[in-house]
Structure 1
Amino acid sequence: MNHLLRKLDLTSLRLFVAVCQERNIARAAERESITPSAVSRRIAEIETVIGRPVIHRESRGISVTPVGEMVMRHAQAVIASFESLDAELSQFATGAKGSVKVVANLSAIVQFLPEDIAAYTRIFPDVEIQVDERSTSSVLRSVSESGADFGICNAVPGIKDLESLPYRTDRLFLLVPRGHRLSDATAVTLADMARENFVGLGSDTSLARLLAQQARSLGLDMKVKIRVNSFDALCRMVHVRLGIAVLPQHIGELYVDTLDLQLVPIAEPWASREQIVVFRQRERLTAAASALVNFLTNKR
């Protein structure tokens, strides 16, 4: 592999593909604005590197050998990959102006988006970005109905007719008041906390649905006594000992130093969640939206 990488170049591969498509060196040379002798030299170099003939020269053109067919197939894939890269870079560059509407769930907005959007706008200060907070189900519905350029939400089963890319991973922790019976635990399970009173987000949020689903699977009944619409309210409710809560680690860490709270890891597979960027079709994104998607999904 290293031998091929050092010896073959894109120009030679492009000329070889042109010869295979035209079945004639002279026509391929005319198409690529180069002399036939230069094309022949490039083909000979490919054959030297590979050690086998890739074409047979005939009186009225050329025929492609079986090895040549294989090389052409891979050459086309390499060229297509670089053309795709060029198109994406061009989109990124032309995304310097415009407006983008994003719908995102609360977890993404509180944990990750502020810093990411701030970094993006330092590169593209003329792009106007509107962010609306929605539940995960509402994010998916809004993107499906063309109510936003793209959305950011938790990866959930059953996403149809939308494309997606990975964005971030977050980890769910248990939030309890200091001195609570679980505050000194090294880790907890859902069964450990099931008999407690809970403070939760709205029942239509992906977090509320996840917890309800996991409780049902274990035959447990979670007692959600209070529901709120923000993590700030949730943390304050736990602070005054109205219940315990499950929330993303990064959000809990914003409050543990200012309120009487303790974070406890949850030792369950479902406590690790993937966040994704969703859109209808990549090629239908505006240049500004595509540039922002590229920035968000390549930022780690």
Structure 2
Amino acid sequence: MRLDLADLHLFLCIVDAGSITQGAARAHLALASASERLRRIEDDAGVMLLERHPRGVTTTEAGEALAHHARLMLRQQARLKSELQDFATGNRGTLHLYANTAALTEFLPARLAPWLAERPQLQVELKERTSADIVRSIAAGRVEAGIVSDAVSAPTLVLQPVARDHLVLIVPAGHRLASVGKVSLAEVIDEPFVGLAQGNALQEHLDDHARAAGHALALRIRMKTFAGLGEMVAHGVGLGIMPQAVAGRYRRRLGYRILALNDGWAQRQLCLCYGSWQALSSPMQSLLSHLGKKNAAG
């Protein structure tokens, strides 16, 4: 059989109305067109589906079977249409978003949570990358969008600031620099440091700037979390670098000192990063709009 969904819809309209004339009207078809289409449906089925009477039509046994399956198929089509609409509007599917360390640990949890909670059928896959890696991936078309530091060069992409993300130096309370207001990385490049775990995007970013300032950081130990890094610094193991908001959160409990970094690359803002807004999928547009509005409201 070569019946399409429009055929099934017309057939059900006629069955439910009990009349070819009224069924054609429900299907928004001219009577002649509906009658010809019904004839082709019966010819294709190879069996009579409707019994014609002076006052209307009734289904044959075969017609009842077709009507039953037609209802199932049209309901399934409605479910499919609804699910596809969910994908199109960002309520279902999987979004892939790249973000640097600060965005993953500080910016996204509170900002992303309410938006994602309203979309129970949607998944978001977050991947931690350096800002430079994110920019390269977006420019190459491997990912739609990401969250990066504005210190990165992205001449062909859009950078939309959403949060302040300055990096600071933390030192033990008794350190010789504890009372200094600000320093550059070059001034402390020879000091022992506490770093973040291998592969951490922020640590890779710091390592690049350390080499540009003279040589690689002398890392005595690597920690997986900012809390662990702060503990090590507070006990005099070495110096550390972390986002200002994170450093402020742990300072009272751990007692280290916070120094501003006057390097330009440390005076950062977190930015939404993407190519063309029109090229973004609807779900990604919805997410980025939400993140941008949250910033404007704050």
Fold-level similarity (TM above 0.5): yes
Deviation string, structure 1 residues 100-149 (Cα, Å, up to 9, x no partner): 11111111111111001013224444432221112223322333444433
Q: CA–CA distance in 1 between the matches of 2:110 and 2:276?
A: 26
Residue identity (%): 27
Q: Distance in 1 between matches of 2:293 and 2:286?
A: 11
Which structure has the larger Rg over C-alpha atoms?
A: 2
Q: Is the 8 A contact 1:200 1:208 kept in 2?
A: no
Match of residue 287, structure 1, among 264, 276, 282: 282
1:101 and 2:96 aligned: yes
Pairwise CA RMSD: 3.0
Residue 276 of structure 1 is matched in structure 2 by: 271
Equivalent AA in structure 2 for residue 224 of structure 1: A
- 1:173·1:265 contact (CA, 8 Å) conserved in 2? yes
2:191 corresponds to: 196
Does structure 1 retain, via aligned residues, the 8 Å contact 2:210–2:217?
A: no
Partner Cα separation in structure 2 for residue 193 and residue 239 of structure 1: 17
Deviations 1:44-73 (A, max 9, x none): xxxxxxxxxxxxxxxxxxxxxxxxxxxxxx
When residues 169 and 211 of structure 1 are mapped into structure 2, their CA distance, relative to the original with a 3 A threshold, is: farther
Indicate conservation of the 8 Å contact 1:172/1:249, yes or no. Answer: yes
* Per-residue CA distance 1:216-247 (angstroms, 9 max, x = gap): 4xxxx564234636534433332332210222
Q: State which of 201, 218, 226 in structure 2 corresponds to 1:224.
A: 218
Gaps of 5+ in 1: 1-90
Question: Which runs of structure 2 are paired with 1:160-239 in the superposition (5 Å)?
Answer: 161-190=156-185, 192-201=187-196, 205-213=204-212, 215-216=213-214, 223-226=217-220, 228=222, 230-239=225-234
> 1:268 deviation in Å?
4.5
Contact 2:207 2:217 in 1 (8 A): no
Residue 169 of structure 1 and its aligned partner are, at CA, apart by 1.9
The 3 A distance-change label for structure 1 pair 280 and 238 is: same
Partner of 1:135: 130
**Segment of structure 1 superposing worse, 178-187 or 196-205:** 196-205
- 1:81-160 mapped onto 2 (5 Å cutoff): 94-159=89-154
Question: Do the aligned residues in 2 keep the contact of 1:152 with 1:278 (CA within 8 Å)?
Answer: yes
Structure 1 residue 206, shift from structure 2 partner: 2.4
- What's the secondary structure of 2:183's corresponding residue? coil
Asked whether the equivalents of residues 190 and 218 of structure 2 are also in contact (C-alpha less than 8 Å), the reply is no
Any unmatched runs of 5+ in structure 2? 1-85
- Which residue pairs with 2:27 in the alignment? none
- Asked if residue 264 in structure 1 is aligned to residue 259 in structure 2, the reply is yes
